[in-house]
Structure 1
Amino acid sequence: MSESLLFDGVVLGGFALVFVLIFRRLGLGATLGYLVAGAVVGPQVLHLVGNAESKIGVAELGITLLLFIVGLELNPSRLWALKKEIFGLGLLQVVACGLAVTGVVWIGTHFSGAAALVLGLPLALSSTAQVLPMLQSAGRMRTPFGERAFSILLFQDLSIVPLITIVAVLSRNPADANGPPGWLLFLYTIGAVAGLVLAGRFLLRPLFRIIGNMGEREMFVFAALFTVVAAAAVMEALGLSTALGAFVAGVMLADSPYRHELEADVEPFRSILLGLFFLAVGMMLDLHAIAERPFFVIGMALALIATKALIIFGIGMAFRMTWRSALALGLLLSQGGEFGFVLFAQAQKALLIAPEAASLFGAIVTLSMATTPFLMSITRRIREEPIQQGDRDGPQSDGANALIVGYGRFGQTVAQMLIAQGIPVTLIDTDIEMIDIAGEFGAKVYYGDGTRMDLLRQAGAAEAELILFCIDGDQLSADLIEGVHQAFPKAAIFVRAYDRRAVIKLKGAPMDGVVREVLESAVRMARLALLKVGVDQAEIDRSEELYRREDRERLKAQVEAGDIRVARDRIITQVSRPELSEDLGG
């Protein structure tokens, strides 16, 4: 069994790498690459890997992790601000598209009304696993357009409970008669969400605070994954959406100082499992069903895409979107979604549709998902707003203009001066006690190791103009600064170095500025002391310039040699040096 799993992993990973790289290079997106790779290695083509059902069961955790990360981006206040889009735009889309697609299925198949309904309503749902990564990679997740798209996707996820209820009500399977009624599922949903909210407030935050104080990154990763899996398991036990549970858990931690660290820790697992999910979907694609009825599958997929795109376009226009944005929204959400597979399986168990119909419409969903990258690519020029001549808006960033790593004495001063000039900042630190104290004074500091490239990226370093390392100790190196510069070339990098030893260690690093902490404060004290004993201001300035010149030459020699003991003759230890007397006017 272990050999089989190892072989499957090697084959799936190898094919996924090849196809994703090819499709990325062609500008068609990773999702389509995963789908095609799964179809090629699956039982329909090369038959190198089988048992897609078991793999998709594990891979669905990728969707759960995706919703958790999305939840981390939305604190409760921001989610409340989107209530109009979620319960207005989202509700209208699900109902309008669900009824319209049901009509298309009924006309195209001549199925019974119940069968058409349990096929049409799931097809109204779009692919969260496909759309959100596309929004994130395009940097549009926190834009008004991205918020509208996300609001629709979130309501679609919420609608899974009533859709399962509709299937249960229409069920012809005697075993479903003992299932919970719809009103009870609704109460389960409210209770579960309330329970997750309380758990997030009184259990999760104290837990992450303890782990943060321990400084164990492995425990942080483990606790993050446990939170996601536990929230999903609670919802699954109640027969509800696992992704919804993970989303609620993410929202509860969105305004906590651990957001960036959690996001960076979970992201690799999300990417891997989401890729496995699409591989499994590709493996489950019934190519024989397509071959037997190719015109039906292709025609129904095109009808699905056209119907949803047209309706969502109309809804977008009704909500006062520009026609280009409304068109982009319609095309982006025009595909069927991964939850369609779940609901088709429920309808099959309820004896409302035959297994062949479930397989056929699964192929339609997969084919519709495969078209989205093409549609977004070929319509890019149409969807882009024309550039107006004359006055133009400046560049807009979803995140802060400056990232400050380290919010101790040094970082606090830097942050306050930047904020005083209207520059928004993101603050990152690992000191839990300091984070709590800063929160009492109104400062929002996120927990995380700011020397990690993935965490900097999650915090918005790719869009930032400034990255300022204000951490103390001996945590920075020239290689680290070089890596940050290569990863985020648009950002100017400034470094706080405690003393000249730290500056020597950073030799060759691509920095825009380095500040020795002990230097400036010591020079300031010396100036105050000289002024107190009656030295003239001009003489004080001359003394400072003399010291700075000697110190600069000494530091230059030390950096070149990599040795703090060189150029000791530059240290000013007595006033009898002739050159010093000349410089001081003696």
Structure 2
Amino acid sequence: MAGSHIPAFLPEAVVYLGASVVLVPLFTRFKLGAVLGYLAAGIIIGPSLLGLVNEPERVLQFAEFGIVLLLFVIGLELQPSRLWALRRDIFGLGAAQVVLSGLALTGLVLMLTSFTWQAALVVGLPLGLSSTALVMQLLNERKIAGTEFGERSFSMLLFQDLAIVPLLTIVAALSRVPDPDALPGWQMALMTVGALAFLVVVGRFALPWVFRIIGTLGAREAFVAAALLSVLGSALLMASLGLSMALGAFVAGVMLAESPYRHALEADIEPFRGLLLGLFFVAIGMTLDLGVVAGQWALVAALVAGVMAIKTGVVFVLARGFGTGTIRAFQMGLLLSQGGEFGFVLFAEAARGMLISREAAQLFGAVVTISMALTPLLFLLASRLQVARTGAALDGPENAVHGDEAEGRAIIVGVGRFGQVVAQMLRGRGIEVLAIDLDSELIEVSRSLDIAVYYGDGRRIEILRAAGIERADLLVIAIEGAWDPAATLAPIRGQWPDLPIMARAFDRTHWVTLRRSGVETVVRETFDSAIHMGREALGVFGTSDSMIDAIEAEYRRRDGDRLDLQLVSGDFRAGADQLIRGRLSFDPAALGEIPFDDEMEIVP
């Protein structure tokens, strides 16, 4: 039969994409967020409703790589110096949140169930963890991940990833079916430190060297493959030790955050991250067992309400203690109030250790899923209430993380002999300059001179976005050669129509093409240097300075007239009569203030 030749994964892929294409734009249109759309898509196509896909666990294992890629991209944006500055929030606020939330939720489970304290502990502690994927997606959607609010929220999430090791150790220690081959907790902790140290060394020294070689060769496909290899390799190392794959990817990203390849890496990883993270939320929605919810709806409702209320309260109190304002502390509590994806793993380990039943693991998995689905709605509601009360959004100026004040920001595409001059002049005015180039050797030289240069093709929209063009006041395209403005400028103008753009032209033909494409400021790369040499050449023949000035002024006037004619007509032969073909004669009335000397031939 013809249908027997259809690959097994193809129908499922069509179902995933179809549900996402329909529901995600719909939820986004009503300002409910893409995350809720993905979750709804998973619930609808999952086993509990339409049953179009019946193995969510298998999909979830693959989709978890979306979280891995997400943490890698976050690491690329968080330099080690910034990470060190967050140590108080990570190890102070984060540790307090995990401990207090976990113990409080253990008490809630004891109150609402007949669990032993051991079973309640291995359920309560995982419920104290939040969803890194969900929270960071919400922060990115609202463009507040880089604010003080976003960084403080992420600090707690980062410590939660570090807490996975002791939580696994606790589950293993309380297990009624102990694994004789399981390593003791101290040994797991030591292996974790060793693995992280190894990732630091590799990410700091080996990976930049690899990317530099690939960048020098200009093999774009190999660069993408190397980017994925660095992410998946770090994830594999951590997974082989039974640790968080996302934590390994995050460390690798942080180590590459100060390399010149960070923006190119982010741009190449972004499409994979977006697709896999969306698939992860679809898979989470598919895991929701509506039969369990219907059969014990009162208990599920009480647990969901209790989990979200307790975590909101704990985070609120802690955030206030660490200096966060009242409204934003409450929003932070709502943002982190859901259960996390790692809860599914810990519930499964608890069931395997005969601490809880399989049915109980499914019930608490449903609690996690429902709390994740409610978080975007509650966070959206809290944000609207804040705007209504104070008129200030979360990304307002009082909440931004400010660096050194600059007079403005400029992005320069191409940092060769032309771009470097522009960069130095802008820096002399106090302008923050970020340059992008594809020449790895030139990048290394420029960075040794304290010029912030990053690897990548600056004509790509995703590279510019990764470089922060939304915050730029000027874009200078200083690429060598006669590059095509039609393919480059139209997408940039479509994304950022108000951004001033200056461009370097290869010759007068390229100048006209750039001007006709809408670039207002275009500079021919050899024009002024050629005029300078012409002045020097005239000096060799004993020409006076006043006559050199007059000849230069006349040449510039004629050349400008030719360019105007060529720009309007599109005919590069236009204005040929303006070319200087012989000795010039000067009319004093036309020359105005230009001084004359005896050598000039004066036309009466």
Distance in 2 separating the partners of 1:361 and 1:396: 37
Residue among 438, 448, 468 paired with 1:440: 448
Letter aligned with residue 209 of structure 1: R
SS at 1:299's partner residue? helix
Letter aligned with residue 155 of structure 2: S
- The answer for the alignment partner of 1:566 in structure 2 is 574
Q: Which moved more, 1:84-93 or 1:373-382?
A: 373-382
Letter aligned with residue 439 of structure 1: R
- After superposition, give the CA deviation of every residue in 1:476-534 in whole Å (9 maximum; x if it has no partner): 41341121011123421111112212223325323242111212223344456667845
- The answer for the alignment partner of 2:381 in structure 1 is 378
Whether 1:106 aligns to 2:114 is no
Question: Does the 8 Å contact 1:464/1:490 carry over to 2?
Answer: no
Where in structure 2 are the equivalents of 1:435-514 lying within 5 Å?
Answer: 435-514=443-522
CA-CA distance at 1:561 after TM superposition = 4.3
- The answer for the alignment partner of 2:345 in structure 1 is 342
Letter aligned with residue 101 of structure 1: L
CA-CA distance at 1:427 after TM superposition = 1.6
Q: Residues 397 and 553 (structure 1 numbering): CA distance in 2 closer, same or farther, change over 3 Å? A: farther
Q: Which moved more, 1:576-585 or 1:487-496?
A: 576-585
CA-CA distance at 1:264 after TM superposition = 0.5
- After superposition, give the CA deviation of every residue in 1:111-144 in whole Å (9 maximum; x if it has no partner): 1111111111111111111111222232222222
SS at 1:462's partner residue? helix
Aligned residues: percent identity? 49
SS at 1:427's partner residue? strand
Where in structure 2 are the equivalents of 1:203-218 lying within 5 Å?
Answer: 203-218=206-221
Where in structure 2 are the equivalents of 1:6-405 lying within 5 Å?
Answer: 6-174=10-178, 176-384=179-387, 386=390, 401-405=409-413
Question: Does the 8 Å contact 2:23/2:38 carry over to 1?
Answer: yes
Question: Does the 8 Å contact 1:101/1:123 carry over to 2?
Answer: yes
SS at 2:8's partner residue? helix
Q: Residues 576 and 528 (structure 1 numbering): CA distance in 2 closer, same or farther, change over 3 Å? A: closer
Distance in 1 separating the partners of 2:285 and 2:399: 39
Distance in 2 separating the partners of 1:397 and 1:84: 16
Question: Does the 8 Å contact 2:515/2:522 carry over to 1?
Answer: no
Distance in 1 separating the partners of 2:364 and 2:391: 42
CA-CA distance at 1:246 after TM superposition = 0.8
- After superposition, give the CA deviation of every residue in 1:408-443 in whole Å (9 maximum; x if it has no partner): 122112112222222212221111111111222222
Question: Does the 8 Å contact 2:508/2:524 carry over to 1?
Answer: yes
SS at 2:143's partner residue? coil
Query: Which TM-score applies when normalising by structure 1?
Result: 0.94
Distance in 2 separating the partners of 1:6 and 1:44: 21
- The answer for the alignment partner of 2:595 in structure 1 is none
Q: Residues 536 and 194 (structure 1 numbering): CA distance in 2 closer, same or farther, change over 3 Å? A: closer
Distance in 2 separating the partners of 1:289 and 1:124: 22
CA-CA distance at 1:199 after TM superposition = 1.7
Letter aligned with residue 23 of structure 1: F
Distance in 1 separating the partners of 2:219 and 2:571: 34
Distance in 2 separating the partners of 1:353 and 1:325: 37
Question: Does the 8 Å contact 1:405/1:428 carry over to 2?
Answer: yes
Q: Which moved more, 1:153-162 or 1:2-11?
A: 2-11
Q: Residues 357 and 328 (structure 1 numbering): CA distance in 2 closer, same or farther, change over 3 Å? A: same
Question: Does the 8 Å contact 1:38/1:283 carry over to 2?
Answer: yes
Distance in 2 separating the partners of 1:343 and 1:563: 72
Letter aligned with residue 172 of structure 1: R
Q: Residues 347 and 467 (structure 1 numbering): CA distance in 2 closer, same or farther, change over 3 Å? A: same
Question: Does the 8 Å contact 1:465/1:491 carry over to 2?
Answer: yes
Letter aligned with residue 488 of structure 2: L
CA-CA distance at 1:383 after TM superposition = 3.0
- After superposition, give the CA deviation of every residue in 1:336-378 in whole Å (9 maximum; x if it has no partner): 1111111111111111111111111111111111112111221
CA-CA distance at 1:555 after TM superposition = 1.9
SS at 2:503's partner residue? strand
Distance in 2 separating the partners of 1:145 and 1:396: 8
Question: Does the 8 Å contact 2:68/2:246 carry over to 1?
Answer: yes
Question: Does the 8 Å contact 2:514/2:522 carry over to 1?
Answer: no
Residue among 499, 511, 525 paired with 1:517: 525
Distance in 2 separating the partners of 1:476 and 1:462: 23
Question: Does the 8 Å contact 1:485/1:510 carry over to 2?
Answer: no
Larger Rg: 2
CA-CA distance at 1:401 after TM superposition = 2.1
Question: Does the 8 Å contact 1:309/1:327 carry over to 2?
Answer: yes
SS at 1:122's partner residue? helix
- After superposition, give the CA deviation of every residue in 1:231-256 in whole Å (9 maximum; x if it has no partner): 11111111111111111111111111
Q: Residues 222 and 274 (structure 1 numbering): CA distance in 2 closer, same or farther, change over 3 Å? A: same
Distance in 2 separating the partners of 1:457 and 1:354: 48
Question: Does the 8 Å contact 2:312/2:336 carry over to 1?
Answer: yes
- The answer for the alignment partner of 2:597 in structure 1 is none
Unmatched 5+ residue regions in structure 2? 593-601
Distance in 1 separating the partners of 2:318 and 2:66: 30
Unmatched 5+ residue regions in structure 1? none
SS at 2:16's partner residue? helix
Letter aligned with residue 448 of structure 1: G
Number of equivalenced pairs: 581
Q: Residues 398 and 264 (structure 1 numbering): CA distance in 2 closer, same or farther, change over 3 Å? A: farther
Question: Does the 8 Å contact 1:482/1:510 carry over to 2?
Answer: no
SS at 1:209's partner residue? helix
CA-CA distance at 1:311 after TM superposition = 0.9
- The answer for the alignment partner of 1:410 in structure 2 is 418
Distance in 1 separating the partners of 2:490 and 2:374: 40
Letter aligned with residue 24 of structure 1: T
Query: Which TM-score applies when normalising by structure 2?
Result: 0.91
Distance in 2 separating the partners of 1:299 and 1:337: 18
SS at 1:494's partner residue? strand
Question: Does the 8 Å contact 1:465/1:490 carry over to 2?
Answer: no
- After superposition, give the CA deviation of every residue in 1:182-237 in whole Å (9 maximum; x if it has no partner): 11110110110111112223421211111001111110110110111111111111
Question: Does the 8 Å contact 1:478/1:508 carry over to 2?
Answer: no
SS at 1:352's partner residue? coil
Letter aligned with residue 44 of structure 2: V
Letter aligned with residue 224 of structure 2: V
CA-CA distance at 1:573 after TM superposition = 2.1
CA-CA distance at 1:397 after TM superposition = 8.5
Q: Residues 440 and 507 (structure 1 numbering): CA distance in 2 closer, same or farther, change over 3 Å? A: closer
SS at 2:470's partner residue? coil
